[in-house]
Structure 1
């Protein structure tokens, strides 16, 4: 009897633990396409599973972190959903690529235009974001998932280091180490980018100058060859003219010599 009660109590406790922790198994999460490097740009996707058997997910609200504002947030169109981007003024302007940004995206809301995410399915909502912070290892978003029966599940509990996973954890985006040569918003990076562009411009100019040099050399060679051909032709024509003049002179001289005629001998007189 006691053994049966112990087993029943254990089963009840396990069921209670499962019920209380079940939302964490299929919560709203966020993952990058590839890597989300510090100081760079990335495409991330919010994965929204449907946890209900009798209702569809018809609305998703993602609140962006204000401690690390993102100046650029561009949602990708999702068939059957309408996206709305909300911006707010920043308490402290941020600098991106040398430009001061006074407002940033604080929320993106997707609303289903049809049935939404039906039971047994999930939907992914891609967003292009940047510039990612350089002084943080992660970004914590807050998500509100609304069902067709008006139920709202708030995925807003931030995880704590070394602590247990919350019952309704907020989506967390892990940031990787900054990539070398990324064009961030710092002055050093901007100067490096300008120096690189200047070097590329000089290299390109050098290649063009070398190309012009080759072209000029080819033109000079062609011109020299053309001049040599012209000189040879002139000399050849002059030689032909001189030869022709010599032949003409010889013919004329021969004619003059022959113009004297044959010598006529006069017979002696006859005797009378």
Structure 2
């Protein structure tokens, strides 16, 4: 084998290995948008790329972080929709009217998402202007399986520690233009 070919193969292998180590895990629940504007409406679309280690997914539960208000989940045919409401830690003013309580958690359950299929779960929300642009906002998700087990996508990444094994999906907050 020529020196050039050996060098090219070594470079290709190193590049492939480096990109696979640096790439985020794609086997977890993610959010369609990468950014959300503070002080504006936000369409939260949770992407569920698979079931539960060979089994079907039977529920998706998302916890809305403080400052995410006016949540209105989209019903999904074949799934039951539950909303947990409660008091917020503060009073917010989405679209100019004050709110101090509302939906804090949403669950779609009773459905059947086979392991080899993909689905999206959608919520219309408002990202309050009090949240800090430039930071990440995380939405912990629990993926329930037909056998009663669950995968908890709830770990918040810590800078300098790499990606957690079961990361919560998140979006970067940006300023309103």
TM-score normalised by the chain length of structure 2:
0.76
> 1:25 aligns to what?
26
Find 1:122's aligned residue among 118, 128, 138: 118
Change (3 A) 1:129 1:98: closer
Higher relative contact order (CA 8 A, sep 6+): 2
- Report deviation, 1:50: 2.1
Displacement of 1:51 after TM fit? 4.5
Distance 2:28 2:65 in 1: 19
What are structure 2's unaligned runs of at least 5 residues?
1-24
1:55 is displaced (CA, Å) by: 1.4
Shift of 1:31: 2.0
1:31 and 1:177 mapped to 2: Cα distance? 19
SS in 2 for 1:25: coil
Task: Tell me the equivalent position of 2:132.
Answer: 135
Cα gap change, 1:135 to 1:52, in 2 (>3 Å): closer
> Greater share of strand residues, 1 or 2?
2
Count of residues in correspondence between the two structures = 153
- Superimposed CA distance per residue, residues 201-253 of structure 1 (whole angstroms, 9 cap, x where no aligned partner): xxxxxxxxxxxxxxxxxxxxxxxxxxxxxxxxxxxxxxxxxxxxxxxxxxxxx
Per the alignment, do residues 97 and 51 of structure 1 end up closer, same or farther by CA in structure 2, a change over 3 Å counting?
closer
Local SS of the residue matching 1:46: strand
Asked if 1 retains the 8 angstrom alpha-carbon contact of 2:48 and 2:118, the reply is yes
**Whole-angstrom CA distance in 1 between matches of 2:137 and 2:122:** 16
Secondary structure of 2:40's counterpart equals coil
The CA deviation at 1:174 is 1.9
Deviation at 1:53, TM superposition (A): 5.2
> Which is greater in Rg?
1
Structure 2 counterpart of 1:96, from 73, 83, 94: 94
Retained in 2: the 8 A contact 1:37–1:176? yes
SS of 2:164 mapped into structure 1: coil
CA distance in 1, matches of 2:151, 2:59: 11
Secondary structure, in 3 states, of the residue corresponding to 2:162? coil
Greater per-residue helix proportion: 1
How far apart in 1 are the matches of 2:53 and 2:61? 21
The answer for unaligned runs of 5 or more in structure 1 is: 1-23, 180-272
Query: Residue 231 of structure 1 corresponds to which residue in structure 2?
Result: none
Helix, strand or coil for the counterpart of 1:27? coil
1:99 Cα deviation after fit: 2.8
